[in-house]
Amino acid sequence: MRPAACGRTRAARRCTPTGSPDASPVSWNCPGCRRRLHDLRHLAATLSLLAGTDIKVVQEKLGHSSRQITSDTYTSVLPEMMRAEAESVMAVVPRDVPFQVRTPLTIPERAWQGDIAVFFVHGARQSGDAWAVGAQTQPGSDLLGMITLSGRGQDDAANAAVKWIRDHCTANDLELVRVENFNDRYPEEQRAGFSLTRFTIARSESPGLDGWALPTGLPPTAARTARRSSKGHRETA
């Protein structure tokens, strides 16, 4: 025979293990409030897998004798894991997207702060798969350059923007310091038609090789030079 419930609704009052009304979070004697520890264990494992934890780690945490048991138990989670893995691989190895330069990129001197320049590349779908991607220092400012491409979505627009800026840096002796993708800043319903990427570049001036010869010895350190100078002053005094 099933034990009788405490008579209290979970939304109104919780019950203690003795069945008296109180603010305790759970009752071990009330079937309406009971939670199995196995349920919590299953939930924790599911969340770990969805968060990207390796299935071998989850297997050892659960104490399963083999990885296959863990895989068979959480088959409902595996498709989501496979999708996330595929997306992560595509993020590491971006698809090469061809584009056409409509306006060559020119970074004005006002965009530089010392040897660092920061600007945005904003893409917008025109019609069908056609995209226009332009570089700007801030919203509403003049375009620094523009490319067009035929892409399947905002990721293609962002990948084309990265290649465009990287090619520009290579041709102009600049260093691409940082790339930040802000595509997820758009509302879900707008992401299919917009992309936004921020670039940080630097002027790179590598020291030349002129004047270097086969070394015959190391130059004196600054500290040694300072001591010799101080000794010379004392002898003069």
> How much is the pTM?
0.50
Predicted confidence (pLDDT) per residue in 120-145, tens digit: 999 999 988 899 999 999 988 999 99
Give residue 162's pLDDT: 92
Please tell me the least confidently modeled range out of 65-79, 109-123, 144-158.
Answer: 65-79
pLDDT tens by residue, 208-237 = 666 666 666 666 665 555 555 555 555 555
- Of all residues in the chain, the percent with pLDDT exceeding 70 is 58
Q: Note whether 126 and 157 are within 8 A (CB).
A: no
Q: What's residue 62's pLDDT?
A: 78
Q: What's the gap between Cα 100 and its chain centre?
A: 28
Taking 80 as the threshold, does the pLDDT of residue 172 lie above it?
Answer: yes
pLDDT at 236: 53
Residue 154 has pLDDT above 60, yes or no: yes
Of 152 and 105, which is predicted with more confidence?
105
Which tens digits make up the pLDDT trace of 180-192? 988 888 787 777 8
Look over the chain and give the mean of its residue pLDDT values, rounded to a whole number: 74
More confident residue, 195 or 87: 195
Q: What is the pLDDT of residues 61-106, one digit of tens each?
A: 778 877 777 766 766 665 665 566 555 545 555 567 899 999 999 9
- Residue 54, pLDDT above cutoff 90: no
If DSSP states are collapsed to H, E and C, what string results for the chain? CCCCCCCCCCCCCEECCCCCEECCCCCCCCCCCCCCHHHHHHHHHHHHHHCCCCHHHHHHHHCCCCHHHHHHHCCCCHHHHHHHHHHHHHHHCCCCCCEEEEECCCCCHHHEECCEEEEEEEEEEEECCEEEEEEECCCCCCCCEEEEEECCCHHHHHHHHHHHHHHHHHHCCEEEEEEEECHHHCCHHHHHHEEEEEEEEEECCCCCCCCCCCCCCCCCCHHHHHHHHHHHHHHHC
The residue extents of the domains of the chain are: 14-89, 99-203
Q: Single out the residue of 123, 124, 132, 145 nearest to residue 197, CA to CA.
A: 123
Model pLDDT for residues 21-48, shown as the tens digit of each residue: 444 444 445 554 455 666 677 677 777 7
